[in-house]
Amino acid sequence: MSQYRTIPAIHRLLELPSLGEAVDRFGRPPVIRACRSAVDRLRRHIAEGAIEVHDIATATEILEPDILSDLQRATRPAYREVINATGVLIHTNLGRSPLPTDRLSRLESYLALEFDLASGRRGQRLAPLRARIAAVCGAEAAVMVNNNAAALLLILSTHAVGREVIVSRGQLIEIGGSFRLPDVMAASGCRLVEVGCTNRTHLADFEAAIGDDTAAILVAHQSNFRIVGFTTEPATADLAELAHRHDLPFIVDQGSGCLHDLRRWGLPAEPTVGELLADGADLVCFSGDKLLGGPQAGIIVGRGEWVEPLGRHPLYRALRPDKTALTLMDQVLAAHHADRLEEIPLYAMMSASIDTLTRRARRIGGRLRKRGVPARGCPMRAALGGGTTPEETMPSYGLAVTGGQALHDRLREGDPPVIGRLVDDEVLLDLRSVRPSEDPVLERSLAAAYSGLKIRQDDGI
Ligand SMILES: *Cc1c(COP(=O)(O)O)cnc(C)c1O
């Protein structure tokens, strides 16, 4: 008898209790699709001689778990929730800042998004949020778009098309994910005029480059790198004064969205958005999902005469944020405004004391050791990440577990995946980037990954 004839028909497979439950849970079409692909796989294996099946019961035994795991993969969310134990708080590959979600349930109802409740007429989408952004940043006016790359594109497209923008050679930055300042400038249709040298640029270099075609002076924050040693860049206040003497706007791509003195968290100070405005910047743009701790967004603040035209540019319509981002941003800005930073997950993590982190590590570590997992408490250094303060780290605490690459991989393949750092033979799990509510899940995942590892080692695999 041909082995293929031992493969049960799809309608027979659907009679299995487990698949009946799956139909109730996921609906019929995905279950049928999973059955078909499992059957195809089995046929292929038979054809290749990798598997031999001589009766329907054996074929069913092979197919059932394959179908169920296929279904699980196919029906889970496209973006998996992970436990970030890397100690990098703004982890671009893990969605940058974790978000406060209290207000998300409001999206179930309609919102007065572009509706003026006083007059009953059409309103402006950004009007309700603008005043709040401006107040938090100490700015005259504000605009929000989808990300900081879009913010810069909008600024340059509005104010510098076909004209020259002067930038220091020390600031022609590339941020991960294909943001390159010269490329964004080219895409917006302005001409980049580079001045100075990689390590040293002087005010006089900018002054000498100003001509009839100059549209603006642009400063970009050296987000993810530092030039150290024999270096100089002109002070922002001096650049602003120079720009204004020539009736030019002074634009700063601040990047991180730093609103507070970072020394509060033991980090070196970097210029805040408010300080740049006070120094005379006309337009400052930054990301919403870095140090602001909010959703992906690009925020532009500054003087009314330079900000207002941005909202009238046709590109603005293409770059405007959706109501989800606007709602989340509103909540995050309200917390910044009230200095209730602990309501923003990023700041709760930044503010956690070493004592608290040590206590958490001891608790998890103690329980894990009882289950035979060699986890030890270990001081570590966490980083803000996201292209902010690239060299500086803050004290942190976590767990170190021996288990090498195999444990590292198993943790990542777990449910939920746990992402740590492999250093020599130990997986380091930094608790500063793990929410305290995730501790029990982290403990379970670690125990599961470790016992899986033990079994494999005992089997000699
Ligand atoms: C992060 C960053 C960008 C890119 O911002 P996105 O919001 O990711 O588009 C641009 N410039 C600077 C200085 C940055 O730090």
Give the mean model confidence (pLDDT) for residues 398-403.
96
List all residues whose CB is within 6 A of at least one atom of ligand 1.
147-149, 175, 179, 220-221, 223, 253, 255-256, 287, 298, 387
Task: Write out the CATH class of domain 83-93+348-458.
Answer: alpha beta
Angle among Cα 445, 447, 449 to the nearest 5 degrees reads 65
Nearest Cα residue to 100 out of 350, 386, 439, 346:
346
Q: What is the DSSP secondary structure assignment for residue 250, as one 8-state letter? A: E
Q: How far apart are CA 380 and CA 362, in angstroms?
A: 14
Q: How far apart are CA 379 and CA 311, in angstroms?
A: 48
Q: At 29, list the tokens.
A: 């079409």
**Ligand 1 midpoint to CA 399 (Å):** 32
Confidence of residue 411 (pLDDT cuts 50, 70, 90): very high
**Ligand 1 midpoint to CA 121 (Å):** 36
Q: How far apart are CA 170 and CA 201, in angstroms?
A: 7
Q: Which of 91, 93, 147, 148 to mutate to test the pocket of ligand 1 (most atoms within 8 A of CB)?
A: 148
Q: Which of 171, 174, 178, 179 to mutate to test the pocket of ligand 1 (most atoms within 8 A of CB)?
A: 179
Mark 406-421 as b/e (b = at least 16 C-beta within 10 Å).
Answer: ebbebbeebeeebbbb
Q: At 84, list the tokens.
A: 């970030």
**Ligand 1 midpoint to CA 175 (Å):** 6
Q: How far apart are CA 221 and CA 231, in angstroms?
A: 15
pLDDT at 455: 67
151 Cα nearest atom in ligand 1: 9
pLDDT-wise least confident of 145-149, 175-179, 233-237, 370-374? 175-179
Give the mean model confidence (pLDDT) for residues 439-452.
94
CA-nearest residue for atom 12, ligand 1, is 255
The CATH fold assigned to 123-340 is: Aspartate Aminotransferase; domain 2 (3.40.640)
**Ligand 1 midpoint to CA 299 (Å):** 11
Nearest Cα residue to 83 out of 427, 457, 452:
427
Cis upstream peptide for 29 (omega within 30°): no
**Residue 185 carries which side chain, given as an amino acid letter?**
M
Give the mean model confidence (pLDDT) for residues 241-267.
95
E strand or H helix at 29, and its extent?
A: helix 28-47
Q: Please, what is the average pLDDT of the chain?
A: 93
**Domain map (residue ranges) of the chain:** 2-74, 83-93+348-458, 123-340
Q: Which of 168, 175, 252 to mutate to test the pocket of ligand 1 (most atoms within 8 A of CB)?
A: 175
**Ligand 1 midpoint to CA 255 (Å):** 5
CA-nearest residue for atom 1, ligand 1, is 255
pLDDT in tens, 358-387: 999 999 999 999 999 999 999 999 999 876
Q: How far apart are CA 156 and CA 166, in angstroms?
A: 12
Angle among Cα 441, 447, 449 to the nearest 5 degrees reads 100
Q: Which of 91, 152, 172, 223 to mutate to test the pocket of ligand 1 (most atoms within 8 A of CB)?
A: 223
